[in-house]
Structure 1
């Protein structure tokens, strides 16, 4: 007791009287702001995880802001920790659907005050002998907790202190005068709710942060951040006399529009767009027609199974048709000035290679979100190592090019002490009990918007079909799509999801890439993570911006899968294979910039930690693969610093297997010895002493 009071005394003295004193206590007052290094949300989560109860008093709450706390509130409920939230309808900001989300919190009591001008922003956390308070400018919204310029103070007070007594008394007094949140109250509020009030208040903010490509009446498309930078880089590449380049851009960032904008600035006499499916072909041609609005409709044509518009100025071709000798031989090799290869990572296929080597354009552009391949083809070499621009998932989110997401790692269903793993039988995966559990978790974490439009990934075709039937029986209209379905059926089902006629499409890996459904507002993963690339591809299905959503909910059911360690690799984009990095990522309350969040229920997080612990991340195969990827990218034998600069393997991981890097090159990379035996010994010593310095 005395130690706690002394700690509090010294903390307050340092915070309010003399900042020069040396004190490392737990209660030093702190200014909470949002910037690249910290945010308000991480402190709120930290206090929630440690508290015995909590009280929150805020005027404004958004679904997205609430979503960032849901997993943590669920864990508190499992521990019996309860809380109260007091809010209001000030300015008509809070939506009926947000109130419905509040009702899902079984351990949180919610009331509404009718005090005029209620504009409070306070968070109170009760601990054993003291209370912590956050008071300032942050409401319970994603922007206020992670992005906006905010000022909040975190400070602690003893449970007998006058200040906390007054704060809690004021909260309690207002609480007693407030109205409990109930379904009937929400139904009445929905009838009188006018969202226009919200739009007027926040119109300026929305205009500043909304980076969706806008098409005005004159069909003039305004490039987003990624597109502006990529266009300038492509212009520079051509100015240097290069005839080909590669764009690496996360799914949903606008690669197709960007390429159309570049075609507009390059002004080729004839143009060819090569794609692997007719669905993408149609989408691409529509995008180009918007960008090249001054061109007549007759200038655009298709080359596919049913279309042979061979003379079109802007020709969009499926690789399946164009790769046939009797088709491509009808064109002169120099027919097209500019060729775009969509999904360029597919270019190892013979069909792509025939097209690639036959045509001789003035400029060739490859576009991909995933340039890494496991076959012998080096996509970087194909495009002369000219990476004109690269933007991966994390940067795209920070730049607000993509739709924000809230990821929830939840524990999969446990039956008779058994959790889903890589060998679970079909009857278990589609049991009535597991289906009920899946519905419970997906309903709790919810979705943005008025209508659920979700995509579910499973591990087997039969599982997809049976699960679709059972979800439909539960009143959730669901359709399974597999590789055996025709393109026409796929298009029909996709349109049904877009129109809200069904709520879910369930698939195995059909939608990993090459599908565009911006309306998706929930992605559910009911399968183990097989690779970080596939994980990001599946997550990316929901990251395109759309008017029907403010964010996408990603729910990952984590079973006893041996590859669970791939989850932090995929979400962080960190390919160092450094276990400490992944553990730190899991314990960080807010590892992503922007409003997106990553949340794990406690049991699920434990499973990922166990997977990291048991995984062998310095296997020889992994090290050689990382070496080859870096070599492919830069076109020469990498140095250790190249691994760091290319966001690849941590040199410590490589040096855990080899005394020095030269030994690795000789034994595993077929590099002729470059140094003497004595020099190798010196290098071994230097490697042990200085390897850590490479990362600092």
Structure 2
């Protein structure tokens, strides 16, 4: 089940668990982080779920205790896009005849693979745009460096921005704009969460805010629980305006309501982008969330509430085969496997480039990015996912194909 941020996933899961346990059936609830158990258990108690028939389990623990566990009648997986990992698969295979239900906001892995190996039905009912229009999420304003003409961005056969157009547009190792100046300009005095690219950068950003008279704190996975809770409580009370972290405040992490997100960490993960960018969009009457994107993640992934068409098949090349990684020789232009250290044709050994740290371009100005800046839908469906010619035509349009493509696919699928 695709449940966008703000769709009430915990409430939906707890009701399914309540109805299941009401019949005396057992539920195994799988998560990948302990904090998620504490939060969902509280929702289960509030909804009067029979906890004697529920086992909450971290995947890392459950996978080592399979032979000692009672067989469940239903397995519910939270953040189901992790479900292709070996640990999850081992649990699924051990209880191979037990029905499974998974929840995620983004049913796709970072490498583009879909969830068809562990799920066979994809359920989509509402999207982020509907949640905003119906006041379950707050509207937002999005600011990013206006470095490129988005009309010139090209989609390749994998429905990703072509590497050439993106690389020409920006440097992935650059943070654009003065962080303090843009916070004051766009969200002055608002409470914000800042996502940084590593722990040292997070600490540095926190120090810069404090030196500028804006109360801030850094937390990471090694921050003692009491200290972390103290920071979050001060954030809740308004004593701290900015919480800086890397990826800690993400999937299921419980933080008080805030209105602003500061993105200082480029990511190729659509799931991570959606989790982070929508963190400030919890609904409150009259509220408008502000997303300050200093690393231009919006060009990689689109806006948080863009329409996205999903498929269990994942992203494939036009031939239906997975993309094979290759290297291209910069000397003779021969292609060869990526594990070769030199070109087998001419013997050229490419220079190993030293990985540089992030650079800051404080002169860059961020501008508002709106829906009109994007003229396409990110469509992960395959032709066989379409049920009729109308959906095939829509898929063709979203991919930028000519109408004849939809006609050809319709004939192959028997719709004509």
Q: In structure 1, the residue corresponding to 2:140 is in which secondary structure?
A: strand
8 Å Cα contact 2:30-2:57 kept in structure 1: yes
Q: In structure 2, the residue corresponding to 1:260 is in which secondary structure?
A: helix
Task: Pick one of 238, 247, 253 that aligns with 2:7.
Answer: 253
> Whose radius of gyration is greater, 1 or 2?
1
Change in 2 beyond 3 A, CA 1:261/1:605:
closer
Map residues 444-455 of structure 1 onto 2, 5 A cutoff: 444=188, 447=190, 452=191, 454-455=192-193
| Aligned counterpart, 1:291 | 47
TM-score, scaled relative to structure 2? 0.66
CA distance in 1, matches of 2:235, 2:369: 35
Cα displacement (A) at 1:411: 5.1
CA distance in 2, matches of 1:502, 1:459: 21
CA distance in 2, matches of 1:526, 1:644: 38
Task: Pick one of 489, 513, 525 that aligns with 2:251.
Answer: 513
8 Å Cα contact 1:529-1:564 kept in structure 2: no
Task: Pick one of 273, 286, 289 that aligns with 1:535.
Answer: 273
More helix by proportion, 1 or 2? Answer: 1
Deviations 1:640-670 (A, max 9, x none): 644556xx562661349xx7469899xxxxx
CA distance in 2, matches of 1:464, 1:385: 40
Q: In structure 1, the residue corresponding to 2:292 is in which secondary structure?
A: strand
| Aligned counterpart, 1:318 | 58
Q: In structure 2, the residue corresponding to 1:502 is in which secondary structure?
A: coil
Cα displacement (A) at 1:542: 2.1
Task: Pick one of 179, 187, 205 that aligns with 1:467.
Answer: 205
Q: In structure 2, the residue corresponding to 1:391 is in which secondary structure?
A: coil
CA distance in 2, matches of 1:478, 1:507: 11
| Aligned counterpart, 1:693 | none
Cα displacement (A) at 1:605: 5.0
CA distance in 1, matches of 2:301, 2:141: 11
CA distance in 1, matches of 2:294, 2:211: 25
CA distance in 1, matches of 2:370, 2:114: 36
Q: In structure 2, the residue corresponding to 1:382 is in which secondary structure?
A: coil
Change in 2 beyond 3 A, CA 1:477/1:550:
same
Change in 2 beyond 3 A, CA 1:437/1:567:
farther
| Aligned counterpart, 1:630 | 381
Cα displacement (A) at 1:550: 4.7
Change in 2 beyond 3 A, CA 1:264/1:441:
same
Cα displacement (A) at 1:467: 0.8
Deviations 1:240-268 (A, max 9, x none): xxxxxxx2111122111111112223324
Task: Pick one of 397, 400, 406 that aligns with 1:653.
Answer: 400
| Aligned counterpart, 1:400 | 135
Change in 2 beyond 3 A, CA 1:607/1:661:
closer
* 2:83 maps to 1:347: yes
Change in 2 beyond 3 A, CA 1:539/1:443:
closer
Aligned residues: 337
Cα displacement (A) at 1:371: 0.8
8 Å Cα contact 1:558-1:607 kept in structure 2: no
Deviations 1:301-349 (A, max 9, x none): xxxxxxxxxxx4222111111111xx121024xx222221111111011
CA distance in 2, matches of 1:280, 1:362: 23
Q: In structure 1, the residue corresponding to 2:290 is in which secondary structure?
A: strand
| Aligned counterpart, 1:26 | none
8 Å Cα contact 2:396-2:405 kept in structure 1: no
Deviations 1:602-630 (A, max 9, x none): 97258999x979xxx99xxx9xxx5xx42
| Aligned counterpart, 2:367 | 604
* 2:92 maps to 1:356: yes
8 Å Cα contact 1:273-1:317 kept in structure 2: yes
Q: In structure 2, the residue corresponding to 1:650 is in which secondary structure?
A: helix
Which blocks of at least 5 consecutive residues in structure 2 are unaligned?
148-168, 311-364
Change in 2 beyond 3 A, CA 1:283/1:655:
same
| Aligned counterpart, 1:5 | none
TM-score, scaled relative to structure 1? 0.42
Task: Pick one of 279, 282, 288 that aligns with 1:544.
Answer: 282
Deviations 1:250-287 (A, max 9, x none): 11221111111122233242222111111110000010
Task: Pick one of 38, 48, 51 that aligns with 1:282.
Answer: 38
Q: In structure 2, the residue corresponding to 1:249 is in which secondary structure?
A: coil
CA distance in 1, matches of 2:223, 2:396: 40
8 Å Cα contact 2:261-2:277 kept in structure 1: yes
Change in 2 beyond 3 A, CA 1:605/1:475:
closer
CA distance in 2, matches of 1:488, 1:412: 41
Q: In structure 2, the residue corresponding to 1:261 is in which secondary structure?
A: helix
| Aligned counterpart, 2:173 | 423
Q: In structure 1, the residue corresponding to 2:182 is in which secondary structure?
A: helix
Deviations 1:172-198 (A, max 9, x none): xxxxxxxxxxxxxxxxxxxxxxxxxxx
Alignment root-mean-square deviation, CA: 4.2
